[in-house]
Structure 1
Amino acid sequence: MKIGDIVIGLFIILSVVLMIIPLPAGILDLLIAINLSLGLIVVFNALFAREALNMSSFPTILLFATMYRLSLNVSSTRLILRDGEAGSIIETFGGFVGGGNPVVGIIIFIILVIIQFLVITKGSERVAEVSARFTLDAMPGKQMAIDADLNSGIIDEHEAKARRQKIQDEASFYGSMDGASKFVKGDAIAGLIITFINVIGGITIGSMNGMPIGEAMSIYTTLTIGDGLVSQIPALLISLATGILVTKVSKEADVSQILIAQLFNVPKALYLSGGVLIILGLLSPLNPIIIVGLGAIIIIAGNNIDKSLQIQSIEDEVATGEVEADEIRRPENVVSLLQIDPIELEFGYGIIPLADVNQGGDLLDRVVMIRRQIALELGAVVPIIRLRDNIQLNPNQYIVKIKGVQVSEGEILFDHYMAMNPGFVEEEIDGIETVEPAFKLPALWITESQREKAETYGYTVVDPPSIIATHLTEIIKQHLDELLTRQDVQTLISNVKETHPTLVDELVPKLMGVGEIQKVLQHLLREGISIRDLVTIFETLADNASINRDTDILTEYVRQSLKRTISKKFFTSNETTSVVTLDPAIEQLIMDSVKQTEQGTYLALDPEKTQLILKATEEQINRLEEVGRQPILITSPIVRIYFKKLTEEYFKNLIIISYNEIESNIELQSIGMVSIS
C-alpha cells in the first residue's frame, strides 16, 4: 500500500474520531491550524490552475475538507460547553475580531456567513449547474469535431483518444461539481446552526453552574464566535476556490495574467476612469487628496501602458518583417512537399455542405463508418482518408485519389436523389438520366417530391452522401492490396503475437519476412478475400513456408485453408449456384506453359492460344451475366493462380475459385465450359 493511501485513510478516520473522542485544547489548536493551511493551499491551487481539469479531484477534496471542518466544530463545541475554553486560536479569533465586544463579533460572523452562503456559494452552485448542462449538451458536437479532425489527418488515433477522454473527464468533473457545491451550501447552514446552539447551550450551562448571565454570555459568546470564525474562514476559502474553478475560461494562462491583460490593457479606459475620479474629487465633497490622487495615478498608469503597447507594436512589426525576410532568404524546405496521402477525396464547393457538420452534413461520419466496415469485412486497416475541397473542380464534382493519383471521379446533384431500377420495375418516373458511379448502372436524378413515389414503385433511392460513400468504399476495396504497407503488416503481426506468441515466433522471421507475408495478404485482398482470420493464415504459412517460399503458391495454400470464408462470400448454402468450368485440355496447356525460375514461376503461353482462351472465357462470362448470375469460374487448384493472372487484366469481375476452396455442402451447377477445341 502506498504512503498516500495510508495518509488519506488516516485523514478520513481522524475526521470520524474527532467527533467521538474529546481532545485537549493544544491538539485542537494544531488541527485548526492545519484546517486553515488546507484552505489556503486549495484556494491558491485553484487560482493558478491552467484549467479546471488540473484539479479534477476537487469534488472529493471538497467532501473531505467539509467533513474534517465539521468534525473540528464538534470537538470545539464539546470543549466550549464542557470546560468553557477551546484553545488559544479560538479565543484569539473571538476576542480580536470582535474587539472585545461579543455583539460586534456576532455581526462580523453573520456577515461572513452571508457572504459565503448568498454570494459565493449561491453563484458557484449556479455556474456549476449551467456548466454541467452545457458540457453535456456540447459532447456530441465535440465528438464529431474530433472524428472530423481524425478523418482529415489533422490528428492521429492517439490524440483523438486523448481528446475523447478529456471530453468525458470534463463532463464528469462539472457533473460532480454541480453536486459537490451542495456540500458548501450545507456547510454554511450547519455553521449557523452550530453557532446558535453553542451560544444558547453555553449560556444555559454557565447559568446552571452558578455563573452570572452577563459573564456566561460574554465568555461563551466570545468562544462560540471564535469557533465559528476559525471554521467559516477556511470554509470561505474553499467556497472561493469552488467559484474560481467553475468560472475558469482560459487554458493558455493563469488567472493573474488574464486579469492584468484584460483589465489594464486598454489605455483609453484608464484615461476615462482617471478623468472621472479627478472631476469627482474637484467638484464633489469627497476627499480631494484621495480621489484626485488616485485618478492621477490611474492616468499615469494608462499613459505608461499606452507607451508600452506602442513599443510592443513596433517590435512585433519589426519581428514580423525579419521573419518574412528570413523566410525569403532561407532555402525552401521541399521535404514536406514529398508527402503523399494514401487516400484523398476532393470535391467542389457545391459538395462542402455535405462535409460540413455545422450545416448538417454527415459525410465525415460516413467516412469513419467506411473504415470500420472494411476492417470488419476484409480485416485490413484503411489509412486515414483525407477530405479536402478543390475550387478547380466543378461545383458538384468529386474525385478519388490513391497515392496522389486520380483513380475515379463522380458528380452529384445537390438536393436530388439517385433512383435506380433493380430490374423488375416497369413503371417509369421523370428524372435526369445519369450513371451510378460505383457500379456504372443506369440511374435517374429525381427531386425530393418524387422520392416517395419512386420508392413505392420499387426503385432503389439513395441520397448524395450515400452515393459518394458507396463509390469511395468500392474504390478502396479495389485498391486495398496496394494500400497495405509493410508497416501495416507489422502492426497486424504484433496484434496476433499478443495472443499467439508461439505461432508468430515460429513464422517471423525464421520462415518468412514481413515483405513476404505482405505479398500473401495482398494477393488475398486483391481478390476480395478477408484477412481477418490471421491466425489461420499464419498457421498455414508456417506449415508450408519451409517447403515452398513462392508467395503465389503459398497464397493458394492459404486460400484452401480459408475455404469456409470463400464459400460464404461467393456461394449460398441453401441454393444452387450457376458457374462455368475450365476445360481439362486448357488446364493441361497452362501447366505445360509454366516456367520455373529462381525468382518464382511465370506463364509462357503462345499468344494465339491466349487470345482463343480469352475469347472463350468472355463467351462463358456473357452466358452467366445474361441469366443474371455473378461470373464464377471453377478450376483445379494447381491451375487457378495462373489462369487468374492470365485473365485479371481483361475481366476484372471474373471470380476464379478452385475445387479445394469450396465446402462440401455447396451445390454448384455448371452451365458452360471454357474450351478452345
Structure 2
Amino acid sequence: MLRAARPDDRHPALQPKENPQNYPFGTDQGDSDRGREELHAVPKRLSQYIVPIGIVLIILMMVVPLPSFILDTLIAANITLALVIVLVSMYVKRPLEFSSFPSLLLIATLFRLALNISATRLVLTNGFAGHVIDAFGHFVVGGSLIVGLVIFLILFIIQFIVITKGAERVAEVGARFTLDAMPGKQMAIDADLNAGLIDEGTARKRRGEITAEASFYGAMDGASKFVKGDAIAAMIITAVNLVGGFAIGMLQRGLSPQDSISTYSLLSVGDGLVSQIPALLLSVATGLIVTRSANDGDMGSTVSRQLSQNRRALQIGGGAALALCLVPGLPKLPFLLAGGVVLLVSARLPKQAEPTVEEQAAAAAEAELPPPDPTETLMGEMRVDPLELALAPDLVDLVDASGGDLLERVRALRRKVALELGIVMPPVRTRDDLELPLSTYVVRISGVEVGRGQAPPGTVLAIGDGLDFLPGRAGVEPVFGLAGKWIPAELRHQADLTGATVVDRASVIITHLAEIVRVHASRLLGREDVRALTEVVKRSNPVVVDELTPSALSLGQVQQVLQGMLDEGVPIRDLVRIFESLSLQAKQSTDPDSLLEAARASLGPAIANRYSHDGMLTAITLEPRLEQQLLESMRPTDNGLQLLIDTARAEAILADLTRLTEQGEERGVSPILVCSPQLRNALRRLVQMALPRLPVLSYSEITGSTLRIETIGVVNGAYPVAA
C-alpha cells in the first residue's frame, strides 16, 4: 500500500535545514544537552574500570611494601566494605537482586588476604604495622596475649564452625534442589505459554530468571568454599606470625622473651583480629543470602512483621522476663528493662479482633458440615486436552531450555499448520509420563493415542544403506516408514559420509506430530474454533458472514463442511470464498454432501494445483457407462451418499484403480481420479478404504484451472470398453 512520505522518511540530505533563529536560545541548548550526557557518561565509563584496577592493585599489595598510613586506610576500607555487604544482604528482597555477591565475595577475600600479607611484612620488618593493628593488639585485648588469643579463637570458632559450615550446607542443598527443579519449572512455563496464559516475552523472562537462579545458587555453592578457606587461612597466618615474630624478636634483634611478645606477638594477634572481623561479617552476609526465602520485603521488614504478628506471644515473653526478677541472686534491672521493652512493644500492636458469638456459632456449624465438593478441581482434572505430547522420563531433556528446542519447534509448527491448512492448531500440552517405556513418546488427540514413536537419548536417526558398521539399534522413521538406525550422536559425521540422511530426535518427533495434525486436522477443528474463524472473516467481510450464519446455516453445519474439506487435505484458508459458495448453495439445499461439493468447487483451481507437476495434471477417468451405473446406484444413508454395488464390482473397480495408480507412480507422477460432481463424494468413500493416497476430484474442480490434463487410463470395472 502506498502512503505519503513524511518529512522523517526523506533522505537526510533532503531534510529541511534547522534555522537557529527558530530556537529562542539559539543552538546552545543542544550543546548543553550533549555536555550533560557526556558528564553522565564519565562515571559510567569509570565504573567499568574500578574492579579490574582494584584486582591489579590487590595483586601489587602482595608484592610491594605499603606505608603504615596506607595500610590503616585500607584496613578501615576493608571493614567498611564488609559492613556494607552485610547491610545490602539484609535489604535485598530476593537473592538474585545481589547476583554479583559470589564474585564480590571472592574479591573481598583476596583483598583481605593481601592486607594480611602487607601487615605481616610490616610487623616482621619494622615491629609496627599502623595504628589500627596496634590498637587492636594493645587496647582492644588489654595488652594481654592470652586474652587476644582467646578472643581470636572464639571469633574463629563462631565463623568457621557455626556460620561458615551452616552457610556451606545451605548453599549446597539450595544449588542441588534448584538444579533438580529446573526441568519441572521449564515445563510449567511452556505449559502456560502453550495454554495462552502468558506471552512469549513473559515466558522468555521467566526462563531467564530460572537460569539465573540456578547459576546463582551454583556460584554460591562454590563461593561458600571461599569463606571456609579464608577462615582456615586466617588461623594459619596468625599462627605463623606468632612464631615468626617471636623468633625474629629473640634471634635477630636480641630482645627478651617478654619484650618479643609485647612487640611482635601482640601485633600478630591484632592483625588476626583486624582480619577476622571483616571475615566474620562476610560469613554472616553469605549466610543471610543463602537462607533467604521467598517474601515481598527486605529482611528487616519481614522479621519485624513476622515477630510482631502475634501480640499474645510478646506478652507472654515479656511477662516471663519480669518473672525472672523473682529468682534470688539474679540482677533485677536487666530483666526489668528487657521485659518492659517487650511488653511496651506488645501494647503498641493493634489488638486482634475477637470473633463474636454469631461468628463462633457459624464457624462451629461450618466445621460440622461435610467438606464442599471441589467441583472446579474435579472439572479441571476431567478436562481432556485436544492435543497432547507425552514424553518418557528420559526424554525430558528435549524440552529443557538449556539444551532442548522441542517446544520452540512446536510453536513454529503451529504457525506452519496455520499457513498450510488454515486452522489454528490447539496448544500442545507437553508433559512427562512415568508409565511410558523409556525413550518413548506418545501423541494423543482428545485423550486417545494416535501415534507413538522412539527417540533414544544421546542418539540420532540415520536413514539409508550401509549402516551395518555403525553401532546402534534398528529404528523406523514414523511418517514414511523408512528403515533406519538410532546411532550415537557423536557418529553423525560417519553416517553422513555413507550418504545416509541423519535426523535428530526433535526433528523426528516434530515431523511425526506434523503428519498426525495433518491427518487428524478435522478432529482438531472444534465448534469454538469455527466461531473464532468466523469472527476473523467478519472483521473484513461482514456481509459474507451475515448472509451465511445463523440465517442460512448454523455453526455446526459450517463446521461439518470445513471438517469434510480437511479430511481430504483441502486447506480452508480462503474462508471468504468458501462462505460465499455456502451461502448460495444453502438457498437450494443444506445437504452436507452438496454443501461440501459447492465449497470445493469454489476452490477448484487451488485444489487442482496441489496435485499438478510442472503444469501437468495426471488423471484417471471412469468409463462413461460405468460412471452412469454408479450414479444410478447411489443411495442416501446416515453417513451421506453411498454406492450400493455388489462386492465383485467394487473389487474390480479398486483393482483397476490400484493398477493405474502404481503405473503412474512408476513414472514419477501422482495421478488423481476424476468423475462427475454428483458422484465424487460417494466414490471417494469407496476409494479411500483401499487407496487413501488417491485424490478424487470432480470435473468442475479442474475445469477452471489452466493446467494441462494427461489421462493415463480409464477404469471400466470389468466391462470392456467399446471399440
Kindly indicate whether residue 102 of structure 2 is the aligned counterpart of residue 59 of structure 1.
Answer: yes
Aligned to 2:284: 240
Distance 2:259 2:128 in 1: 14
Residue 43 of structure 1: CA displacement?
A: 1.2
Could you tell me whether the CA contact under 8 Å between 1:580 and 1:632 is conserved in 2? yes
Distance 1:480 1:370 in 2: 22
Aligned to 1:624: 687
Instruction: State the superposition RMSD in angstroms.
Output: 5.1
Which of 232, 237, 246 lines up with 1:194 in the alignment? 237
Which of 294, 299, 303 lines up with 2:347 in the alignment? 303
Report matched runs for 1:459-470 at 5 Å. Answer: none
Distance 1:114 1:19 in 2: 27
Residue 162 of structure 1: CA displacement?
A: 0.8
Q: Secondary structure at the match of 1:197?
A: helix
Distance 1:116 1:369 in 2: 51
Distance 2:238 2:131 in 1: 18
Could you tell me whether the CA contact under 8 Å between 2:414 and 2:424 is conserved in 1? no
Residue 669 of structure 1: CA displacement?
A: 5.4
Aligned to 1:84: 127
Aligned to 2:51: 8
Could you tell me whether the CA contact under 8 Å between 2:318 and 2:338 is conserved in 1? yes
Residue 135 of structure 1: CA displacement?
A: 0.8
Q: Secondary structure at the match of 1:227?
A: helix
Kindly indicate whether residue 154 of structure 2 is the aligned counterpart of residue 111 of structure 1.
Answer: yes
Distance 1:299 1:122 in 2: 36
Aligned to 1:216: 260
Kindly indicate whether residue 378 of structure 2 is the aligned counterpart of residue 351 of structure 1.
Answer: no
Distance 2:297 2:216 in 1: 20
Aligned to 1:332: none
Q: In the alignment, residue 279 of structure 1 is paired with which amino acid? A: A
Report matched runs for 1:594-613 at 5 Å. Answer: 613=676
Aligned to 1:597: none
TM value normalised by structure 1:
0.58
Distance 2:519 2:566 in 1: 22
Could you tell me whether the CA contact under 8 Å between 1:379 and 1:530 is conserved in 2? no
Distance 1:377 1:210, change over 3 A: same
Distance 1:471 1:163, change over 3 A: farther
Q: Secondary structure at the match of 1:248?
A: coil
TM value normalised by structure 2:
0.54
Residue 4 of structure 1: CA displacement?
A: 2.7
Distance 2:55 2:114 in 1: 10
Aligned to 1:72: 115
Residue 93 of structure 1: CA displacement?
A: 2.0
Distance 1:472 1:215, change over 3 A: farther
Report matched runs for 1:540-559 at 5 Å. Answer: none
Distance 1:101 1:242, change over 3 A: same
Residue 149 of structure 1: CA displacement?
A: 2.1
Distance 2:567 2:96 in 1: 46
Q: In the alignment, residue 223 of structure 2 is paired with which amino acid? A: A
Could you tell me whether the CA contact under 8 Å between 2:325 and 2:335 is conserved in 1? yes
Could you tell me whether the CA contact under 8 Å between 2:423 and 2:525 is conserved in 1? no
Structure 1 vs Structure 2: percent identity of aligned residues?
Answer: 35
Distance 1:281 1:352, change over 3 A: farther
Distance 1:418 1:100, change over 3 A: closer
Could you tell me whether the CA contact under 8 Å between 1:271 and 1:299 is conserved in 2? yes
Which of 67, 77, 86 lines up with 1:34 in the alignment? 77
Could you tell me whether the CA contact under 8 Å between 1:581 and 1:672 is conserved in 2? no
Aligned to 2:501: none
Residue 60 of structure 1: CA displacement?
A: 0.9
Which whole-Å deviations, capped at 9, do the CAs of 1:123-153 have from their partners, x for residues lacking one?
1000000101111121122122212322333
Could you tell me whether the CA contact under 8 Å between 2:570 and 2:607 is conserved in 1? no
Q: In the alignment, residue 621 of structure 1 is paired with which amino acid? A: R
Q: Secondary structure at the match of 2:113?
A: helix
Distance 1:620 1:555, change over 3 A: closer
Aligned to 2:648: none
Aligned to 1:318: none
Kindly indicate whether residue 192 of structure 2 is the aligned counterpart of residue 161 of structure 1.
Answer: no
Structure 1, gaps ≥5 residues long: 315-345, 389-409, 421-464, 488-522, 532-550, 584-612, 644-656, 663-667
Which of 279, 288, 292 lines up with 2:332 in the alignment? 288
Q: In the alignment, residue 193 of structure 2 is paired with which amino acid? A: L
Kindly indicate whether residue 85 of structure 2 is the aligned counterpart of residue 22 of structure 1.
Answer: no
Residue 280 of structure 1: CA displacement?
A: 2.0
Q: Secondary structure at the match of 2:678?
A: helix
Which of 189, 192, 200 lines up with 1:149 in the alignment? 192
Q: Secondary structure at the match of 1:19?
A: helix
Which whole-Å deviations, capped at 9, do the CAs of 1:219-241 have from their partners, x for residues lacking one?
11221122112211111111111
Could you tell me whether the CA contact under 8 Å between 1:634 and 1:658 is conserved in 2? no
Residue 641 of structure 1: CA displacement?
A: 8.5
Distance 1:90 1:371, change over 3 A: same
Distance 1:473 1:626 in 2: 19
Could you tell me whether the CA contact under 8 Å between 2:163 and 2:283 is conserved in 1? yes
Kindly indicate whether residue 658 of structure 2 is the aligned counterpart of residue 615 of structure 1.
Answer: no
Q: Secondary structure at the match of 2:63?
A: coil
Which whole-Å deviations, capped at 9, do the CAs of 1:74-120 have from their partners, x for residues lacking one?
11111111111111111122222212222212211111111111111
Distance 1:227 1:530 in 2: 82
Could you tell me whether the CA contact under 8 Å between 2:418 and 2:424 is conserved in 1? no
Distance 2:97 2:144 in 1: 44
Distance 2:428 2:417 in 1: 23
Which whole-Å deviations, capped at 9, do the CAs of 1:420-439 have from their partners, x for residues lacking one?
9xxxxxxxxxxxxxxxxxxx
Q: Secondary structure at the match of 1:32?
A: helix
Q: In the alignment, residue 105 of structure 1 is paired with which amino acid? A: G
Report matched runs for 1:207-606 at 5 Å. Answer: 207=250, 208-307=252-351, 309-310=352-353, 351-352=382-383, 371-375=411-415, 385=426, 474-476=522-524, 579-582=671-674
Could you tell me whether the CA contact under 8 Å between 1:577 and 1:669 is conserved in 2? no
Which of 245, 248, 251 lines up with 1:205 in the alignment? 248
Aligned to 1:323: none
Q: Tell me which moved more, 32-41 or 346-355.
A: 346-355
Q: Secondary structure at the match of 2:93?
A: coil
Which whole-Å deviations, capped at 9, do the CAs of 1:363-418 have from their partners, x for residues lacking one?
x9999986554445665798695799xxxxxxxxxxxxxxxxxxxxx9879xxx89
Could you tell me whether the CA contact under 8 Å between 1:203 and 1:217 is conserved in 2? yes
Q: Secondary structure at the match of 2:344?
A: helix
Could you tell me whether the CA contact under 8 Å between 2:423 and 2:572 is conserved in 1? no
Distance 2:51 2:196 in 1: 44
Structure 2, gaps ≥5 residues long: 1-43, 357-376, 400-405, 430-444, 453-512, 538-564, 574-601, 619-660, 717-723
Distance 1:528 1:256, change over 3 A: farther
Which whole-Å deviations, capped at 9, do the CAs of 1:550-598 have from their partners, x for residues lacking one?
x98997999699979x99xx99966877744558xxxxxxxxxxxxxxx
Aligned to 1:497: none
Distance 2:669 2:417 in 1: 22
Residue 171 of structure 1: CA displacement?
A: 0.8
Residue 352 of structure 1: CA displacement?
A: 4.4
Residue 349 of structure 1: CA displacement?
A: 5.5
Aligned to 1:516: none
Report matched runs for 1:167-178 at 5 Å. Answer: 167-178=210-221
Q: Secondary structure at the match of 2:349?
A: helix
Q: Count matched residues.
A: 464
Distance 1:526 1:486 in 2: 24
Distance 1:163 1:37, change over 3 A: same
Aligned to 1:494: none
Distance 1:99 1:412, change over 3 A: closer
Distance 1:581 1:306, change over 3 A: closer
